[in-house]
């Protein structure tokens, strides 16, 4: 009976996003249909896809125009003081907000300072040249990260309480324990070595946080947090700090003196003029690889799903709908594997980089 409950929990955890994925397909079809009809059957594929994968200051749920339903998130700007207001005026009316004697408008989800008429000065590439205040707004991706962090605290807080009495883990603890052991035995120990315990909290947080955001990003109405370059940049930057602050003498010697005492300094100097800059550059290429890999793989999945749905409107025929939806469901199912795989790869490479930093000289 316990094994049956565990199996049910596992299947629910993995199949719930798939069921929601079908609902997401239906919601996307209806929304695109409304937009296409309102624009006189002129379907803009790029704008539709970018609207869904980009961050925003509102959480649009359904409907268009006056019948639109959504959650308008708070705007927080640092511009001659802190300015806070709702994002709703950006999407309704003239799209101009006055706060503290200054006017602001939204252009492609970026906030610019403007005048009372909402004037934007464009350069040759049609990019606004207006001043941009420091934007600390609570966007969709920020909300998703907060929700993911809270879910992480709730899940592992519950698991931690179940171990207080030394009981055999059951239910949620029984499901998460093999995953924790997997991170410890297959990621941390082989790549970091004897010092792995020090880094287990970070690796576990990294693995489950990315996995949760990857999965929730597949649900209808959810934001594409892990497919945002700023999010992956932040995770990569944290890993960069952890790795380099953990580096021992052997790690830094390998970077700045890779040949060691094998030859005199005058013989090493010509080689080091090339080798040392390459080693220093490697410090930055590692986190950049982490950043781009997670961003590209998650964003690509969302783009492919939306592209298959958009075939209906590009060809302007419902005859392609069954094939389009079947392909979308197939990719959405594949995305469940990608969600776990990308969390695993990011955590694995982080452990590998930490292991290289703390490795003792042979």
Closest CA to 248 of 298, 320, 193: 193
Say how far apart CA 221 and CA 20 lie, in whole Å.
10
Q: Are residues 198 and 277 in the same domain?
A: yes
Residues 219 and 99 in one domain: no
Give the per-residue pLDDT at 166: 66
d(CA 46, CA 54) in angstroms, rounded, equals 12
121 and 201 co-located in one domain: no
What pLDDT is stored for residue 6 in this prediction? 36
25 domain residue, yes or no: no
Q: Where are the alpha helices (DSSP H) in the chain?
A: 2-38, 45-53, 88-91, 140-162, 172-182, 189-192, 200-216, 229-246, 249-256, 265-314, 321-358
What's the pLDDT at 11? Answer: 34
Please state, in angstroms and rounded to a whole number, the distance separating the CA atoms of residues 272 and 210. 39
User: What is the per-residue pLDDT across 162-221, written as a single tens digit (0 to 9) for each?
Assistant: 777 666 777 788 888 889 999 999 999 999 989 999 999 999 999 999 999 999 988 877
Residues with Cβ within 8 Å of 154's Cβ and at least 6 positions away in sequence, in order, are none
Is there a contact between 322 and 216 (Cβ–Cβ < 8 Å)? Answer: no
- Given 95, 114, 137, which residue is the final one in a domain? 137
Same domain, 173 and 251: yes
Domain containing residue 150? 142-358
197 and 218 part of one domain: yes
Lowest-pLDDT choice from 3-12, 43-52, 215-224: 3-12
Tell me: do 87 and 185 sit in the same domain: no
Question: 72-111 pLDDT, tens per residue?
Answer: 899 999 988 899 999 888 888 788 999 888 999 998 889 9
123, burial (CB in 10 Å: exposed 0-12, middle 13-18, buried 19+): exposed
Rounded Cα–Cα distance for residues 109 and 92 (Å) = 14
Domain assignment present for 26: no
The reply to whether 92 and 159 lie within a common domain is: no
User: Domain total for the chain?
Assistant: 2
Claim to verify: residue 163 and residue 131 sit in the same structural domain: no
pLDDT at 341 over 50: yes
Q: In this structure, are 315 and 351 located in the same domain? A: yes
Q: What percent of the chain has pLDDT over 70?
A: 84
Q: Which helix (H) or strand (E) holds 62?
A: strand 58-62
Q: Are residues 109 and 200 in the same domain?
A: no
What pTM was estimated for this model as a whole?
0.82
Question: Roughly how many angstroms between the first and final C-alpha of the chain, as a whole number?
Answer: 51
Pairing label, strands 74-78, 110-114: unpaired
> What pLDDT, on a 0 to 100 scale, did the predictor assign at position 68?
76
Q: What is the pLDDT of residue 266?
A: 64
pLDDT digit string, tens, across residues 250-305? 888 888 887 776 667 666 777 788 888 888 998 999 999 999 999 999 999 889 98
> Is 182 found in the same domain as 101?
no
- For the stretch 102-145, pLDDT in tens is 999 998 889 999 998 888 999 888 889 999 999 999 999 999 99
| Residue that is written with structure tokens 């809270």 in the block | 150
Does one domain contain both 172 and 187?
yes
């Amino acid at each position: 009976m316990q094994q049956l409950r565990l199996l049910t929990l596992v299947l629910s955890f993995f199949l719930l996003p798939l069921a929601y994925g079908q609902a997401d397909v239906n919601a996307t079809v209806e929304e695109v249909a409304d937009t296409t009809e309102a624009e006189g059957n002129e379907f803009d594929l790029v704008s539709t896809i970018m609207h869904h994968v980009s961050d925003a200051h509102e959480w649009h749920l359904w409907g268009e125009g006056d019948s639109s339903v959504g959650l308008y998130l708070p705007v927080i700007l640092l511009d001659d003081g802190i300015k806070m207001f709702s994002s709703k005026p950006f999407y309704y009316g003239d799209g101009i907000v006055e706060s503290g004697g200054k006017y602001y408008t939204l252009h492609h989800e970026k906030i610019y300072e403007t005048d009372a008429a909402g004037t934007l000065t464009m350069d040759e590439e049609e990019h606004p040249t207006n001043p941009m205040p420091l934007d600390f707004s609570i966007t969709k991706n920020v909300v998703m990260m907060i929700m993911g962090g809270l879910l992480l605290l709730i899940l592992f807080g519950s698991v931690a309480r179940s171990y207080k009495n030394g009981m055999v883990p059951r239910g949620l603890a029984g499901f998460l324990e093999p995953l924790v052991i997997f991170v410890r035995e297959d990621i941390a120990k082989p790549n970091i070595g004897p010092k792995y315990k020090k880094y287990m909290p970070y690796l576990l947080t990294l693995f489950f946080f990315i996995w949760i955001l990857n999965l929730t990003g597949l649900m209808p109405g959810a934001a594409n947090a892990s497919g945002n370059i700023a999010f992956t940049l932040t995770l990569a930057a944290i890993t960069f700090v952890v790795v380099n602050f953990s580096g021992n003498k052997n790690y830094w010697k390998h970077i700045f003196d890779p040949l060691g005492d094998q030859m005199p300094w005058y013989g090493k100097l010509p080689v080091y003029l090339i080798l040392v800059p390459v080693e220093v550059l490697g410090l930055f290429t590692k986190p950049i690889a982490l950043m781009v890999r997670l961003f590209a793989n998650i964003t690509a999945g969302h783009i492919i799903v939306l592209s298959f749905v958009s075939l209906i409107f590009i060809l302007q025929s419902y005859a392609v709908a069954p094939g389009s939806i079947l392909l979308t469901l197939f990719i959405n199912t594949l995305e469940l594997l990608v969600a776990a795989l990308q969390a695993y790869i990011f955590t694995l490479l982080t452990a590998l980089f930490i292991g290289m930093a703390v490795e003792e000289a042979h």
